[in-house]
Amino acid sequence: MSMNLNIGVIKGDGIGPEIVTEAMKVLDKAAEKYGHACKYTQLLLGGASIDVHGIPLTDETVEQAKACDAVLMGSIGGDAKTSPWYQLEPSKRPEAGLLKIRKELNLFANLRPAILYDELKGACPLKEEITEGGFDLMIMRELTGGLYFGERRTEEIDGVLTAFDSLTYNEIRRIAKRAFDIAMKRGRKVTSVDKANVLDSSRLWRKIVEEVAKDYPEVALEHMLVDNCAMQLVKDPKQFDVVLTENMFGDILSDEASMVTGSIGMLASTSLNETKFGLYEPSGGSAPDIAGKGIANPIATILSAAMMLRFSFDLDQEADAIEAAVAQVLKEGYRTIDIMSEGKTQV
């Protein structure tokens, strides 16, 4: 059945415009091949929005994003030392726009798959015996709560900045449910990561995850402390299927997981709400140091576009075709420098 895909596009900052342009070409090609039509609406977020509107996200952009079926995004932010965006107060900087759009669109479930491609074993910093046979794990990061969104205030007297952790019962429940649903379609194992030996919020997290697990008897649940998980990811990444964790831990662990796959430039991600809507973006940052040189790795964004077809449009066949094409390109030896050879963004 032919579909009209109403896609918002946030090209973003740094390498964002280059990598999104390549992903759009791939989307157009897939649409042409399978008889769909892509309609793109360009949206401004982050530094690009500051340059035009003075703020990293306008209400108008939020409304425009809501009117799309899904949004494809590059990356946002610049060099904190040199970019004028970082002279602004924190709430007006590029990252604030990203956090705001996540909150406004209720994108609570952040899926960050980390897959080691056979062809890229050489780029993986781990020893061969550890990665033998490859690995394929999915970080499920809670994205609209935790320290990121807890109440913040500056005490008047001694200038101490106090941050509170904030996760409600329902927030933990819905992300846990999503993680178990995804595990049912994968390896049927959930590793829930917390810091329950220290944090009350983690003890609440663990209790609710266990409650949710009762509805999924086929899924094996284990708990792991976050410091141990950081170690296990490099010691034995094959042990993981779905790694379920809160916002801050997920931010850190997903960068680590990406590096063990060889490059953060390879990893797609999506942030979903309760509907089919998703914000699809590469896991990596805007890499201002290599922006405009045509050497950034577009694969993470191309795979994010494939995730979009799968999750927001139920176009599994089309998503499979894009993923197979990426595997084929790697097999044929095409590389960008982050995965260990000379190369360029465009083919």
- Report how far residue 10's alpha carbon sits from residue 17's, in angstroms, rounded to the nearest whole number: 8
- Report how far residue 319's alpha carbon sits from residue 303's, in angstroms, rounded to the nearest whole number: 8
How many residues bind Mg ion (CB under 5 A)? The answer is: 1
Supply 38's token pair: 């892509």
Give 17 or 284: the residue with its C-beta nearer to Mg ion: 284
Q: For Mg ion, which residue has the nearest CB?
A: 251
Residue 95 binds what, of Mg ion, ligand IPM, none (CB under 5 to 8 Å, by partner type)? ligand IPM
| Residue carrying the six token digits 């390896």 | 187
The answer to whether residue 251 is catalytic is yes
In the chain, what's the furthest Cα-to-Cα distance?
Answer: 64
The answer to whether residue 195 is catalytic is yes
329 Cβ contact partners less than 8 Å away, ≥ 6 residues apart:
347
| Residue carrying the six token digits 């794990």 | 137
* Window 125-164: residues binding ligand IPM (CB under 6 A): none
67-83: burial string, b at 16+ Cβ within 10 Å, e else: ebbbbbbbbbbbeeeeb
Residue 142 lies near Mg ion (rule: CB under 5 A) = no
Spacing of C-alpha 236 from chain mean position: 22
Over the window 78 to 117, marking each residue x when it contacts ligand IPM by CB under 6 A and - when it does not, the resulting string is -----------------x--xx------------------
Closest distance of CB 99 from ligand IPM, Å: 6
The answer to whether residue 169 is catalytic is no
- 246: amino acid identity, one letter: E
Give 68 or 299: the residue with its C-beta nearer to Mg ion: 299
Give the DSSP letter of residue 219.
Answer: S
The answer to whether residue 181 is catalytic is no
The answer to whether residue 255 is catalytic is yes
CA angle 279, 212, 206 (to 5 degrees): 90
- Report how far apart, in Å, the C-alpha atoms of 245 and of each of 42, 206, 242, 248 are: 32, 10, 10, 8
Residue 256 lies near ligand IPM (rule: CB under 6 A) = no
Which of 13, 18, 171, 251 contacts ligand IPM by CB under 6 A? 251
Give 165 or 318: the residue with its C-beta nearer to ligand IPM: 165
Over the window 244 to 263, marking each residue x when it contacts Mg ion by CB under 5 A and - when it does not, the resulting string is -------x------------
124-159: burial string, b at 16+ Cβ within 10 Å, e else: bebeeeebeeebbbbbbbbbbbbbbbbeeeeeeeee
Closest distance of CB 283 from Mg ion, Å: 7
Closest distance of CB 112 from Mg ion, Å: 9
Closest distance of CB 111 from ligand IPM, Å: 12
Polymer length in residues for the chain:
347
Residue 3 binds what, of ligand IPM, Mg ion, none (CB under 5 to 8 Å, by partner type)? none
Residue 98 binds what, of ligand IPM, Mg ion, none (CB under 5 to 8 Å, by partner type)? ligand IPM
Supply 63's token pair: 């409304």
Give 70 or 267: the residue with its C-beta nearer to Mg ion: 267
Binding residues for Mg ion (CB under 5 A): 251
**Which residues does the annotation mark as catalytic?**
148, 195, 227, 251, 255
Binding residues for ligand IPM (CB under 6 A): 77, 95, 98-99, 251
